[in-house]
Chains A and B, each alone.
Chain A
Amino acid sequence: MITYEGFAKTFGIVHAVRDLTVTIAAGEVVALLGPNGSGKTTSIKAAAGLVRPTEGRVLLGAPGRSALEADARRVCSFLPQRVTFPESLTGREVAEFYCKLRGRNADRLQEVMKLTGLNGSSRRTVGTYSGGMTQRLGLAVAMAAQALVLLLDEPTAALDPDGTCAFYAVIEARRSEGQTVFFSSHQMGDVERLADRFLVMVSGRLVASFTARELTTALANRGVMKVTVDGISDVVLTRLRAIAPGVMSSADQIMVPGTADVRLAVLDLLRNQGVTIRGWSAEEGRLDAFYRELVEGHHG
């Protein structure tokens, strides 16, 4: 649905994006992660036809057509990071204008306004909206387009908890309809909850791409198990360290970092050695820590 072929963008002497080659398939929900200035917004805007590639190209749809062609953009709908609308128009007038501009009738408008939590405010002028309501209106406009691809640049940055819930509902609805969503975010909660695939950009380069399953495995491998025991002998501890070198222990607690397999092996060993296990808990690795490692690894 979206294909970046060696896409690069330079603003003066600044290389915003370098040699980005990636394909986002139909029906995927893909999150683009990266620190500020890593090229996320430029990449998403290129797919929306707002940025001309310095090198390479960005194609939309199948067969792919350049995002710079107005008609090719019919397949996608873009929501900018900080969307604004003329203050003298009502929410409904704004949404109707964009529907008509795409040649869509405004049939689904009511439904979309309701989904984004704006139903009661659609007759008010945008000048009376809060920042979060304006962003929700942007989401409603993007949704009402009924495009196959939704491009969202940090969509939850200005949303309150209600707005964030509305956003999640929108994305879930899109997913259930088998449509494509490509979004950038700094909110790890959004990313973990919504995305099927994750792309990480650092300094304009794509440094990692992994699926939700790969992420789950990666996070599991970074997990920690905490076991409460009735004391443990040095012999058992030595055996534990043979299978889990990072084990740490206190009088009645053992901390076991490592993969799920390692943790299971540790539990088996404790049982076999007759150690009384009073309780245990396991915590998977955290996405933010994993992301930080990735970014720092490539910054260095």
Chain B
Amino acid sequence: MAFTLCAQQEVRLSVRSRWTQTFTVVFAALALAVATSGYVLSGGSGTQDFSRTAASLVELVLLLVPLTSLVFGVMALTPDPGAAQLLYSQPVPRTVVLFGQLAGLCLALLAAQAVGFGAAGLLIFQRAGSDGVFGFLGVVAGSCVLTVVFLAVAATITAGSTSLRRAHHLAVALVVWFAAVVLFDVAALGAASLLRSGAASRLLMVAAIVNPVDAVRTGTLLTVDGTTAFGAASLAFLRMTGGTTGAALTLAASLVVWIVLPLGIAAARVRRADL
């Protein structure tokens, strides 16, 4: 009951927030732009099919969704001290309040993304048919998973704190985003270039599992293009995990850990916090 109420309240706040409204419009515009202008670079014109749109959308999702989830998460989970004190003094366990808020925020962000994916999907279906729709749905699923993972990370950063530390938490969130989306891959590739081929492949394999952004990228590419889009490291990863099912399960396990572990830490922090 309290969980649902907190989730509903967060959905209501998110729907009325200009930030969420802006994100919805921008994400939809970008998704439509990707769907309608994908052939421009290859000198053509017209709407792409689902497969090509999905392949183009992956990078947009990997870049934008972690950032918005972290920033929106930090903003929503660092209320003013007076608001936090009133909320957490209610006869409701703190973890229920936190997870309720997270659930509501997650729903709101997923709904905002659904508008963009839905608009692009409808346009593609109307103009190019349903070929490759599963790859597109794979990107949507990847986007959902990234939203949950990075909201959980935002909860870990902010749990039990208030707006007095919001700027600090935002800075930490931006560092986390930059590390996960840009720095990690650069570091992994840099390190791999210094290693022998076998060791480099193993390093890149581990990198694909350890970083949630890479895990979603690998999983999504698997749904969009199968193994055709894979490089040497990904193929080695497939061999190690015994095929696509094993690879998918390994990636899913990594992502589950990336959701459960931050939520566990956030729960422990919010329980112990002095407000």
Contact = CB atoms under 8 A, between A and B. Distances in A.
Majority DSSP secondary structure for residues of B touching A:
helix
A73 B91 contact: yes
Interface stretch (B29-37, B76-84, B176-184, B251-259): B76-84
Interface of B: 1-2, 5-6, 9, 12-13, 16-17, 79-83, 85-86, 88-94, 96, 272, 274-275
Contacts of A78: 85-86, 89
Given A48-B85, A49-B88, 13 more contacts: A45-B85, A50-B89, A50-B274, A52-B274, A77-B89, A78-B86, A89-B13, A93-B12, A97-B9, A98-B90, A101-B90, A102-B91, A141-B86
Q: How large is the interface on A (under 10, 10 to 19, 20 to 34, 35 or more residues)?
A: 35 or more
B83 A85 contact: yes
A238 interface: no
Given A84-B80, A88-B16, A50 B2 contact: no
A60 to B, nearest CB: 10
Interface string A77-88: 111111111101
A82 B274 contact: no
Interface of A: 9, 11, 45, 48-52, 70-74, 76-86, 88-89, 93, 97-98, 100-103, 138, 141, 151
Contacts, number: 79
Contacts of A11: 274
B153 to A, nearest CB: 23
A82 B9 CA distance: 21
A102 B88 CA distance: 12
A71 B272 CA distance: 17
B1 A70 contact: no
A16 to B, nearest CB: 10
A275 to B, nearest CB: 60
A74 B91 contact: yes
Nearest to B14: A88
B83 A83 contact: yes
Given A45-B275, A50-B274, A80 B81 contact: yes
Given A49-B89, A50-B89, A98-B90, A81 B82 contact: yes
Nearest to B272: A52
A71 to B, nearest CB: 6
